[in-house]
């Protein structure tokens, strides 16, 4: 059996498991990054599925990623929320990292909101800020679309000239103003990790982008491949002038400090989408 057929069968199995247990699908998908899983507390009539019970689903191994798929409603919108994501540094392949986005698409998701924790690369982006992602630079050296293409799903060559939907960015800006959130904007650059950047890498990356992280880009590429609209929101967890050694614990603490603000913003966005 070739890879395309195997992925099709896996998605079919996963979809059957979910649709046997929920009524209908979902319109909006949300992927929550490190320390940002609190949004699920706002879901009405939630159906919670641990990743380890969903057929063919990868498993979260990073602290701060609870590892649940939560399906329900927020602001009268049908949502499917990934409470934790997957990373290349965990050892997953392109297919593994992007598989959940394929599943979301099969559930009916046509709008995807991705959140992440990110390090600032410019002085005016401070820890605690939320940055709407306007574009990205993929320095991971990998792409979830590498390999045989399933022409029934998406094109071999995907246009990325509007990877982050301008209409959703405008909704995010309007929602931020209404909620009193100082929403920044900038370009996100993705590296594979799991090491944090050296000072020389920070200097280099700051010439091409505004914030750096180890996720998001593979999901955004796959979402564009599937024809979804995408909104990206990065929570800034550390600043370039910080002289102390960075740790994942610090990232989680800073992300959790901003989670209430982010949740308020996302709910406002959902009300307008």
Q: What is the pLDDT of residues 227-245, one digit of tens each?
A: 999 999 999 988 766 556 7
Residues in the chain with pLDDT values less than 50:
none
Is 136 a known active-site residue?
Answer: no
**Which residue of the set 60, 87, 98, 268 is catalytic?**
87
**Which residue of the set 26, 34, 223, 259 is catalytic?**
34
Given this model, what pLDDT does residue 94 score? 77
**Which residue of the set 42, 98, 120, 215 is catalytic?**
215
**Which residue of the set 65, 164, 197, 268 is catalytic?**
65
Given this model, what pLDDT does residue 85 score? 87
For the domain made up of 3-272, the CATH class stated in words is alpha beta
Given this model, what pLDDT does residue 36 score? 72
Is 90 a known active-site residue?
Answer: yes
Is 214 a known active-site residue?
Answer: yes
CA-angle at 139, arms to 136 and 142, nearest 5°: 110
Given this model, what pLDDT does residue 18 score? 96
Given this model, what pLDDT does residue 34 score? 67
Beta-carbon contacts of 195 under 8 Å, excluding residues fewer than 6 positions away, are: none
Given this model, what pLDDT does residue 144 score? 94
Is 56 a known active-site residue?
Answer: no
SS (H, E, C) the chain: CCHHHHHHHHHHHHHHHHHCCCCCCCCEEEEECCCCHHHHHHCEEEEEEEHHHCCCCCCCCCCCCCCEEEEEEECCEEEEEEECCCCHHHCCCHHHHHHHHHHHHHCCCCEEEEEEEEEECCCCCCCCCEEEEEEEEECCCCCCCCCCCCCCCCCCCCCCCCCCCHHHHHHHHHHHHHHCCCEEEEEEEECCCCCCCCHHHHHHHCCCCCEEECCCHHHHHHHHHCCCEEEEEEEEEECCCCCCCCCHHHHHHHHHHHHHHHHHHHHHHHHHC
**Which residue of the set 50, 66, 75, 90 is catalytic?**
90
183: closest CA among 271, 102, 269, 257?
269
Given this model, what pLDDT does residue 253 score? 66
Is 238 a known active-site residue?
Answer: yes
Is 60 a known active-site residue?
Answer: no
Given this model, what pLDDT does residue 251 score? 62
Is 65 a known active-site residue?
Answer: yes
Given this model, what pLDDT does residue 152 score? 94
**Which residue of the set 26, 214, 222, 234 is catalytic?**
214
């Amino acid at each position: 059996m070739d890879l395309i057929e195997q992925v099709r069968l896996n998605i079919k199995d996963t979809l059957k498991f979910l649709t046997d247990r929920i009524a209908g699908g979902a319109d909006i998908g949300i992927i929550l990054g490190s320390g940002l899983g609190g949004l699920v507390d706002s879901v009405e009539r939630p159906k919670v599925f641990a990743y380890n019970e969903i057929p063919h689903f990868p498993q979260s191994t990073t602290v701060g990623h609870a590892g649940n798929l939560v399906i329900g409603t927020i602001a009268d919108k049908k949502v499917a929320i990934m409470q934790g994501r997957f990373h290349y540094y965990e050892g997953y392949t392109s297919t593994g990292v992007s598989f959940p986005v394929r599943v979301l698409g099969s559930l009916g998701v046509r709008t995807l909101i991705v959140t992440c924790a990110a390090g600032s690369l410019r002085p005016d982006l401070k820890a605690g800020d939320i940055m709407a992602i306007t574009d990205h630079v993929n320095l991971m050296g990998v792409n979830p679309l590498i390999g045989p293409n399933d022409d029934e799903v998406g094109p071999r060559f995907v246009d990325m000239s509007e990877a982050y939907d301008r209409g959703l960015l405008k909704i995010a800006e309007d929602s931020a103003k209404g909620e009193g959130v100082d929403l920044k904007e900038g370009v996100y650059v993705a590296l594979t990790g799991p090491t944090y950047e050296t000072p020389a890498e920070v200097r280099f990356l700051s010439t091409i982008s505004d914030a750096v992280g180890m996720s998001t880009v593979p999901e955004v590429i796959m979402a564009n491949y599937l024809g979804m609209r995408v909104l990206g929101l990065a929570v800034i967890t550390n600043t370039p002038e910080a002289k102390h050694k960075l740790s994942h614990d610090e990232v989680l603490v800073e992300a959790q400090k901003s989670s209430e603000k982010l949740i308020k913003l996302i709910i406002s966005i959902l009300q307008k989408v």
